[in-house]
Amino acid sequence: MSDIAMIEAAAARLTGRARRTPLLSSPFLDEIAGRRVLVKAECLQHTGSFKFRGGWSAVSALPPEARARGVIAYSSGNHAQGVALAAREHGAPAVIVMPSDAPAVKIGNTRALGAEVVLYDRATEDRDAIGDRLAAERGLTLIRPFDEPLVIAGQGTTGLEIAEQAAEAGVDEAHVLVCCGGGGLASGIALALESRAPGLRVRTVEPEGFDDVARSLAAGAIRRNNRTSGNLCDAILTPQPGDITFPILRRLCGPGLAVTENEALRAMALAFAHLKVVLEPGGAVSLAAALFQPDRIADPAVIAVATGGNVDAPVFRDALRRFAP
């Protein structure tokens, strides 16, 4: 259902649309980690996160009449912006269902990209139910954030680029750390690497206390988080891995990793100082694991996928105040 052929087809649709983001590095980060660290900077993707890839992949694959009716998505913000921009560039209406406690910058940007934003309470309302109802009422096509083969295929194009860029950098054995919510990006990258760079192995990274994927991988069956709020890593606080993504993760990924909120903030400050990129907390957990959990990584090189940079300025300032070198 999700395979390398779908990823290649998504890559063809994304050519000239998605940015080929750079693989960054710094001798200072190598020294901290005790090994070579390469950072796939998806914060530099259109809309500030990898989610544009999946959004474009899904919208571009719709039949014209469905596209004209419009799309709907539910998201804490990055999938929202990715779908909103992809829809706008296709001339399609977009409705985005967002939690009311999402970062203001994400809500504002989603509206500014032309989408209609519908807010809901993360603690008391079910975003899936809201999305299904609006989709039915208006004939919109629901674009799920991760458990959707076209979205997984779009995110998987990141893996095609990693395979090429790692080869250019002379790296053929490495752990590829991927910030993980529902597993759309991690499963897409894992499928791409299985085919193109089998020496590169995906490891998921989550916030401590929200490590449903790591626990699911350890148990061999889907486990849920007790809560999905109360952490700065808002982009990756999902209830559980997806029914489509989990079997892929289980087949292809090593044990899951988890980092503290402070480790994520410290990684943001180091990315500021040494890579000159802006990461959001949820987009920095992979770099945090690369830098601060070296004993959990086996290979001489590590590739961290820095998934997004949509962070409110006060959170970023606080990370710098506390942790900038």
Minimum distance, C-beta of residue 167 to its own copies, in the bound complex (Å): 13
Rounded CA Rg of the chain: 18
Among 19, 69, 223, 296, binds its own copies (CB under 8 A): 19
How far apart are alpha carbons 136 and 139 in whole angstroms? Answer: 5
Among 24, 92, 162, 303, binds its own copies (CB under 8 A): 24
Q: Yes or no: say if 126 and 133 are a contact pair by the CB < 8 Å rule.
A: no
How far apart are alpha carbons 51 and 48 in whole angstroms? Answer: 8
Contacts with its own copies by CB under 8 A: the residue count is 33
Among 68, 112, 123, 221, binds its own copies (CB under 8 A): 112
What residues contact 321, with CB distance under 8 A and at least 6 apart?
none
Max Cα distance, the chain (Å): 56
Q: What angle do CA 143, 48, 171 make, to 5 degrees?
A: 100
Asked if 48 is part of the footprint of its own copies (rule: CB under 8 A), the reply reads yes
Among 7, 202, 275, 287, binds its own copies (CB under 8 A): 275
Closest CA to 76 of 112, 124, 39, 109: 109
Q: DSSP letter string over 34-80?
A: TSEEEEEEGGGSGGGBTHHHHHHHHHHTS-HHHHHH-EEEE-SSHHH
Minimum distance, C-beta of residue 161 to its own copies, in the bound complex (Å): 12
* Interacting span for its own copies (CB under 8 A) from 13-21, 122-130, 156-164, 295-303: 13-21
Interface mask toward its own copies for 69-98; x: CB under 8 A: ----------------x-------------
* Interacting span for its own copies (CB under 8 A) from 62-70, 251-259, 292-300, 317-325: 317-325
Asked if 276 is part of the footprint of its own copies (rule: CB under 8 A), the reply reads yes
251: how many CB neighbours lie within 10 A of its CB? Answer: 11
Among 4, 22, 120, 125, binds its own copies (CB under 8 A): 22
Minimum distance, C-beta of residue 270 to its own copies, in the bound complex (Å): 11
Binding site for its own copies (CB under 8 A): 19-22, 24, 27-28, 41, 43-44, 48, 85, 105, 109, 112-113, 269, 272-279, 309, 313, 316-317, 320-321, 324-325
